[in-house]
Structure 1
Amino acid sequence: MDRRQFCRAAAVAPLFIAMSRQEALAQDVDVKTILHDPEAPEAGNPKGDVTIVAFSDYNCPFCKKSEPDLNRIVKEDGKVRLVYKDWPILGEASVYGAQLALAAKHQGKYDLVHHALMSIPGKKISKPKMLEAVKASGVDMARLNADLKTHSASIAALLKRNMNQADALGLQGTPTFLIGPFRTMALDYSGFKEALAEARRRQAAGDRVE
């Protein structure tokens, strides 16, 4: 996502794009797979009444800008289920970062590595810089390296599914958030809060994606 796209998205952040089940199916999008892929890392409340699906890249500065507010709303709301979709579209180092994070999931440390990578300042972060941040996070590196090898095929398959889902949805860049029946890009805390309130209003009226 470039600066022009970000500014445009931020300027219209309260205006969410409604995405009904019928529209999603018309685009050959498997909604159930997007929301409930067993390999996709999750956070928040697993029984939450609204799901946020976050498509992001560890080299995306705007993902990093949204991350603290996303974490805050999930924690403070208490009824949000968060699904992470690693979508490494900004180069080879982005793919490497996603692989590290997804390998860490196998020792229950995806969140730890995800936040470590999102906390690296700047953009165009190199592979060595990402590896340094992961090592500093406290994850078991011997286990992570072993899981990278053992689960390389399933990690690659998950990243491919994420890419296919993003393409099918017509996503234009990172970060992109699916919030209940809505799709939107850059959001701050108030934007997330408004999106959740509107998603719940729509769900109460029977307009659900699930």
Structure 2
Amino acid sequence: MQRRHFLTLAGMLVAGATFPTSPVLSQGVDVDAILRDPAAPTSGNPNGDVTVVAFLDYNCPYCKKAAPDLERAVKEDGGIRLVYKDWPILTEASVYGAQMALAAKYQDGYDKVHHALMAIPGRGVSKEQMAAAVRATGIDIDRLNADLNTHVGDIAALLRRNLAQAESIGLQGTPTYLIGPFRTSTLDYAGFKEAFAEARRRQAAE
């Protein structure tokens, strides 16, 4: 699918422009399903005052470039609830990577596998490269495979929900981040920090 910037937030910050006021999640969209799907992996502060929803693909170079900055910004902020939406739209290997990461969740290893897959350089990463990266994390591979077999239906259902949610809000590429009332694509560390701050400003003004 074609990658496309929905809001060039980093560019807006440089230019000093204001954020858009229209809500990202409009009528007809199941907001609660997007923000609080109980099967979706989460990170950061579970009681954070700002929720970030990240639609990602393990073969997306833009996702990989932004991942360390997102993790750093979330960790340093301390008040961000981060929701991961595995949205494997680029290659067959992307689906394989998403399945492994979601299977790792059953042994509390999603973050470990997610970071390992995001750290593989380049695009067009193969299943074999992904499998090697996951093994290198030290996660229990036998259990991961068993959990994948046991929960294959649940994992497939979650990926279908992520796809439906992405389509319901008109997403066309990865990465896409929903940050409070804003939607954006690739950001750097400073961009994420400013987006968090602006989301809080907007929430306080409501």
Q: Distance in 1 between matches of 2:48 and 2:153?
A: 31
Q: CA RMSD in A?
A: 1.8
Q: Helix, strand or coil for the counterpart of 1:121?
A: coil
Show the counterpart of 1:153.
153
Q: Distance in 2 between matches of 1:47 and 1:11?
A: 27
Show the counterpart of 1:131.
131
Structure 1 residue identity aligned to 2:171: L
Show the counterpart of 2:25.
24
Q: CA 1:45 to 1:25, structure 2 compared with 1: closer, same or farther past 3 Å?
A: same
Structure 2 residue identity aligned to 1:172: Q
Q: Distance in 2 between matches of 1:134 and 1:155?
A: 18
8 Å CA contact 1:88, 1:98 repeated in 2: yes
8 Å CA contact 2:43, 2:83 repeated in 1: yes
Show the counterpart of 2:181.
181
Residue 137 of structure 1, CA deviation: 0.8
Show the counterpart of 2:171.
171
Q: Helix, strand or coil for the counterpart of 1:82?
A: strand
8 Å CA contact 2:176, 2:185 repeated in 1: yes
Q: Distance in 1 between matches of 2:89 and 2:21?
A: 24
Q: Helix, strand or coil for the counterpart of 2:43?
A: strand
Q: Distance in 2 between matches of 1:130 and 1:46?
A: 29
Residue 138 of structure 1, CA deviation: 0.8
Q: CA 1:13 to 1:65, structure 2 compared with 1: closer, same or farther past 3 Å?
A: farther
Q: Distance in 2 between matches of 1:173 and 1:69?
A: 19
Q: Distance in 1 between matches of 2:12 and 2:2?
A: 16
Cα distance per residue 1:97-117 (max 9 Å; x no partner): 000000000000000000000
Show the counterpart of 1:12.
11
Query: Aligned ranges for residues 85-100 of structure 1 at < 5 Å?
Result: 85-100=85-100
Structure 1 residue identity aligned to 2:25: A
Q: CA 1:137 to 1:19, structure 2 compared with 1: closer, same or farther past 3 Å?
A: farther
Structure 2 residue identity aligned to 1:186: T
How many residues are paired up?
Answer: 201
Cα distance per residue 1:142-172 (max 9 Å; x no partner): 1000000000000000000000000111112
Q: Which runs of 5+ in 1 are unaligned?
A: none
Q: CA 1:19 to 1:110, structure 2 compared with 1: closer, same or farther past 3 Å?
A: farther
Percent of pairs identical after alignment? 65
Q: Structure 1 length normalisation: TM-score? A: 0.90
Matched, 1:42 2:36: no
Show the counterpart of 1:196.
196
Q: Distance in 2 between matches of 1:106 and 1:134?
A: 15
Matched, 1:119 2:119: yes
- Runs of 4+ aligned residues of structure 1 deviating over 6 Å after TM superposition are none
